[in-house]
Amino acid sequence: MARIDFYILPDTTLQARLAFACKLAETIWRKGYRLHLHCEDKVLAEQADKALWSFREDAYLPHALEDSDMASSVPVTLGWQQLPIPVEETALLNLHPEIPDGVERYARIAEIINQHQDVLVAKRACWQRYKELGHEVVPHKLG
């Protein structure tokens, strides 16, 4: 079973959630993992892509959208369709409100919760479902 890390933010905004996702993505990548950011739709994936380019002036995180020609050659991908089959040690950062099919193939899974009501409701359901499936769920309350 996978370990699921839930990062609980005090903020309510999508911008705060994306900013933390960028920092977490950089940390995961620096630890040697490949990473897939799974988004609800292409709009959110494009917002996350833009955030990864600008979250820190002194940082570069090699990444690409899943429909890009570069997606197979970078360690970080952003997608909104079916989860890719992981290669090597791949982590999943789930920004989708639901648990996507195929999460059991990933070594590590991260979820980000902020205090927006829609996110809270969706991620509470995810938390319960992960536990029902027997995964180790670890909360990290931030701020």
- One digit per residue, the tens of pLDDT, for the chain of length 143 reads 789 999 999 999 999 999 999 999 999 999 999 999 999 999 999 999 999 999 988 888 999 999 999 999 999 999 999 999 988 889 999 999 999 999 989 989 999 999 999 999 999 999 999 999 999 999 999 98
- Its domain, for residue 89, covers 3-141
Read off the CATH number of the domain in which 14 is found. Answer: 3.40.50.10110
Buried b (16+ CB within 10 A) or exposed e, 88-98: eebbbbbbbee
- List CB contacts of 120: < 8 A, sequence separation 6 or more: 113, 114
For the chain, the domain total comes to 1
